[in-house]
Chain A
Amino acid sequence: MGIHRGHNARPLEWIAEKFIFTVSLSAIAMVFLIFLFVGREALPVFLGDTDSALVQTVIPSKDMEKTAPDRLARYLGMSVSELKTKDADTLRTMMEIREEAANEVPAAVRDDKDASANTTEWKYLLKAHQWTGYTKPEHIWQPVSAIHKYNLVPLVIGSLKTTLIGLAFAVPLSLAAAIYVSQLAPPSWKEWIKPGIEFLSGIPSVVLGAFAFLVLAGFLQDIFGYRYRLNAFVAGIALGLTAVPLIFSIAEDALTSVPRSYVQAALALGASKWQTAWQVVLPAAAPGVFAAIVLGFGRCIGETMVVLIASGNASVVSWDIFDSTRSLTATIAAEMAEAVNGGHHYRVLFMLGTMLFAVTFATNLLGDAVMHRLKKQR
């Protein structure tokens, strides 16, 4: 007979089914809307519509009547129709504020060679630039400064560095655990180890971060004797701990779902348990293991709290793993609250968000696609 559908189904079941369907659909819509929102806030940077120059042309407030409405509207950042709704006093006050702000800039800064540079242009975002007071061209992230310096390079390196250290720590550990649990462990042990590792994912990342900050940093410093107590290495290890349960459980699934007949055939041909696991099961599960690593990457690069607390957050360009480092996620988390809404700092932070979103989305998509293909093959 099978399950009744349509008018034959019980009404309550029908409602439940439709409800679940709506929920799943709204989840997809939500992801889409979030991306749309983040992208919209970042769009002006991509289009080159933001101007972070310190010195801007100022129209004196006494010239208000003489200025054409469309020029005035553009100057004050609104549309002409919006301008018409404001009374003259409001507009005058707004223009006065502009004048005052321009007058408050110290003379030394006003005469700086970069004072009228729009630092949200791509060349400033990506290439090294010699700012006043620096001895050589450098990649500098100093958004709160007389001249706003928004170079992304230190942050991208910071994110990649902590993520790669995290993976270098988590992948061997979790793969070894997955191979052991799925192939070699006696069933009674398996019952303890598997939930034990997966329990790790239940630890909030803020707790892991605090643990890294208070305990792990000092402990590792005693062993390795590095100079900066908080650095990419400490953050990477803690980051690895957050990724272990994810990589482990996906890899373990992939290894367990290798057909039993492969194992039996290998054992029947005289291979040892270890040889079977290493030379037969692991290659057969390779795509699943790959997907686990890719998803682990997405988890690491998107993690915020751990890196914010444990990495020291110094925006330096360096591949030394024992240097303090600043990641994209920590930057957004730390700076968003104080950024002027709709200002250039706010836009640049959203641009970082868009980049991160794109990267994690792509890696998750890749991971899922690989897993999906894997399931279809069976």
Chain B
Amino acid sequence: MKKHLALLAAGLLAAAPAFAGNITVKGSDTLVVLAQKWAEVYMGGHAGQKIQVTGGGTGTGFAALQNQTTDLCNASRKIKAKEQEQCVKVFGKRPTEYKVALDGLSVYVAADNKVDQLSLEELEGIFTGKIKNWKEVGGGDAPITVYSRENSSGTYEFFKENVLKGKDFASSAQTMPGTAAVLQAVAKDKNGIGYGGAAYGNGAKHVKVSKAKGEEAIEPNEETVLSGKYPIWRYLFVYVNPALDKGDVAAYLKWIRGEEGQKLVKDVGYYPLPKNQRAN
């Protein structure tokens, strides 16, 4: 019985943020696997530290940051003005932003699709619905089926802003609940096209992307993403209330952005920060 009570008490304490030696992390589903990996390894090397990681989405993470129910917020996009304003309203300062990893986005097509390279302009045409047939971009005569992500995903917003230049996705674009689902769908649809993390990839072909038609088409990999040659990539972030950015929390943040933390990034399929952006 006593043991049960102790467990219950431990559970309650874990739920309260900013408890000594206890760090809560909440936010982006894109980052949740990486964040868990970090937490696991960090806890292994630092006895007495407890790090609790949950997903739920970037928006959920920012809401928790405002309500001060989490210490760190994982984000696959930059904070929005409205969210920043809410934070300032509660704790008087803007949350501090840390870049923690890089993510390259790939464009997938079915393995037996003839097309193996596309320019950014062609991608914009395909995803906004202007280009409707594969023959317009050098493929066979077949209608293109566009697969996109849910508009709640940071990936969706990033793709929309950077590849579609802010235009709307075609309304006939099918939206999938996750990158794995996009990949599955494209693998099973010979006329399909979709996008998602470069780390995913079994079953479908990653298209080489060129900045403009006629320029060299680049394959996404660590080297091309880090050098910026591959055109579709983004940062992943962690946000923190500046008042909490000290002691254990600051040490942890420094660790994930340092040598050891960045070493783990590749294991889960993202790319580490360039050396000059790391914490030392």
Contact = CB atoms under 8 A, between A and B. Distances in A.
A142 B169 contact: yes
21 contacts: A76-B85, A86-B89, A89-B92, A94-B89, A97-B94, A142-B171, A144-B152, A145-B160, A217-B188, A230-B185, A312-B174, A312-B175, A314-B173, A335-B151, A337-B29, A337-B60, A338-B151, A338-B153, A340-B80, A341-B59, A341-B66
Contacts, number: 124
B59 A340 contact: yes
A94 B88 contact: yes
Interface residues of A, number: 54
A98 interface: yes
A237 interface: no
Nearest to B164: A145
Interface in B52-100: 56-60, 62-63, 66, 80-86, 88-89, 92-94
A324 interface: yes
Interface in A65-107: 76, 78, 86-87, 89-90, 93-94, 97-98, 100-101, 106
A47 to B, nearest CB: 20
Contact of B59 (A93, A214, A230, A337): A337
A126 B252 CA distance: 49
Interface centre among A87, A89, A98, A144 (most CB of B within 10 A): A144
B28 to A, nearest CB: 9
A360 interface: no
B143 A227 contact: yes
B171 A90 contact: no
Contacts of B56: 337
A229 interface: yes
Nearest to B167: A133
Contacts of B136: none
Interface of A: 76, 78, 86-87, 89-90, 93-94, 97-98, 100-101, 106, 109, 131, 133, 138, 140-146, 149, 154, 213-214, 217-218, 227-230, 308-309, 312-316, 323-324, 326, 334-343
A313 B89 contact: no
Nearest to B175: A313
A54 to B, nearest CB: 11
B157 interface: yes
